[in-house]
Structure 1
Amino acid sequence: MTLLSPDQVAGAKTNVDAFFGLAGKIFEGVEKLAALNLQVIRAALAEAQENMAKVSGTTEPPQWFTLQAGFAGPFAEKSLSYGRQVFDIASTTQAEIAQLAQTQYERYNNRVQALVDEAAKSSPAGSEAAIAAWKSTIAATTTLYETLQKTGQQAVQAVESNFEAVTATASKALRSNAEQAPVAGGAKR
């Protein structure tokens, strides 16, 4: 039977804590998304009931068509709002997970660097080139990770700004169409 050293136990505890931290962040994101979906379903059911009551009270076909046309604008606005909220939940969850990953990476990098430093202290004469190559590889890996992280952040920012531009344009078009929609009798609003 082998016993774990205190460092191994501490390392295992850190890994378990990191796993549960990551799982917790993912669960929080799923929980927020589920709550949003339940809220949207409740609102949609209430609105559908209200709309059915309005439609059933119409007697003239032009009134019915006007009511139907009036339902499209608010539905599209609510769809855009829902998309924004889903995007916010996803980007917040992604940022929290990225922060956890960054913390774990830094811990791992520090442990590897300490291992290399310890190996350098106890290495035989003439192994300086191998230790230097090892340190160079670690530095290159760190630079690559930082570059990938910055590129990922830029991509998320680009997607976010594009999403905001598209939703702003869609909202503007919906408002413009709603202002130009005919009311009963053929007159414009």
Structure 2
Amino acid sequence: MSPFMPEQFAAVQKSSLNQLFALTNMAFDGFQKLTELNLQAVRTTLAEGQGNIEAVLAGKDLREVFAVQGNLAQPAAEKAVAYARHVYEIASNTQVELTKAVEGQYEQHNRNVQAFVDNFVKNAPAGSEAITALLQSSVAAASSTFQSFQDAAKQTAEVAKANFAKTAAAASGAAQQAAPRASKQ
């Protein structure tokens, strides 16, 4: 009996295509969310820009104009930080979804390979112990390597998240300190 039947091959191909389409849809959903965020940011920026120009033009003297301009610095910086946070959340959530899908696919693939190896070992002819041992150790090594990469990727994501939080807090603090200075000028 052949380990690869045409029906099994077709099923594997169909499953692979379904997984590809699922991953593509996840990536497209993330892109759509990012596009919607950008459109919302542009719309808000245009509306606020118009309001800011009207406020500056309504100033009766130079002091009022500078006061209005000084009051714009902090909200702009806070909005930039909020925008960056939203972009990070979209990217992070999309990455988490893609990672879960890929991990699920890998686990299924790993189970299939392990079943193939177990079947091969069970039906191996006498004298092929070295080959079966090599095959088993190769599968174990590949699984261990994947787990190491997966752990490293999770640690990297956690470090990036922590660094982003620190950077956002620092930028927000800098904006709060800059606003009073700008309004005094």
Tell me if TM exceeds 0.5.
yes
d(CA) in 1 for partners of 2:141, 2:95 = 25
Cα deviation digits, residues 129-178 of structure 1 (max 9, x gap): 11111111111111110111011011111010111011112212222333
1:171 aligns with 2:172: yes
Normalised to the residue count of structure 1, the TM-score between the two structures is 0.90
d(CA) in 2 for partners of 1:135, 1:64 = 76
CA RMSD of aligned residues (A): 1.5
Contact 2:66 2:183 in 1 (8 A): no
Secondary structure at 1:124 match in 2:
coil
Whose helix fraction is larger, Structure 1's or Structure 2's? 2
d(CA) in 2 for partners of 1:164, 1:170 = 10
Residue type matched to 2:57 in 1? Answer: S
| Cα offset, 1:179, TM superposition | 4.2
Q: Which residue of the partner structure matches residue 77 of structure 1?
A: 78
Normalised to the residue count of structure 2, the TM-score between the two structures is 0.92
d(CA) in 1 for partners of 2:20, 2:62 = 61
| Cα offset, 1:59, TM superposition | 2.9
Of structures 1 and 2, the one scoring higher in RCO (CA 8 A, sep 6+) is 2
d(CA) in 2 for partners of 1:174, 1:124 = 73
| Cα offset, 1:6, TM superposition | 2.3
Question: Alignment length, in residue pairs?
Answer: 181
d(CA) in 2 for partners of 1:48, 1:123 = 75
Q: Which residue of the partner structure matches residue 62 of structure 1?
A: 63
Q: Which residue of the partner structure matches residue 117 of structure 1?
A: 118
Residue type matched to 1:10 in 2? Answer: A
Cα deviation digits, residues 63-116 of structure 1 (max 9, x gap): 212212221211111000000000010011011111111111111111111111
d(CA) in 1 for partners of 2:164, 2:95 = 16
Q: Which residue of the partner structure matches residue 37 of structure 1?
A: 38
Residue type matched to 1:125 in 2? Answer: A
d(CA) in 1 for partners of 2:139, 2:121 = 14
Q: Give runs of ≥4 in structure 1 deviating > 4 Å.
A: none
d(CA) in 2 for partners of 1:182, 1:33 = 34
Gap regions ≥5 residues in structure 1: none
Contact 2:73 2:182 in 1 (8 A): no
Residue type matched to 1:36 in 2? Answer: L
Q: Which residue of the partner structure matches residue 143 of structure 1?
A: 144
Mean Cα deviation higher: 34-43 or 64-73 = 64-73
| Cα offset, 1:182, TM superposition | 3.7
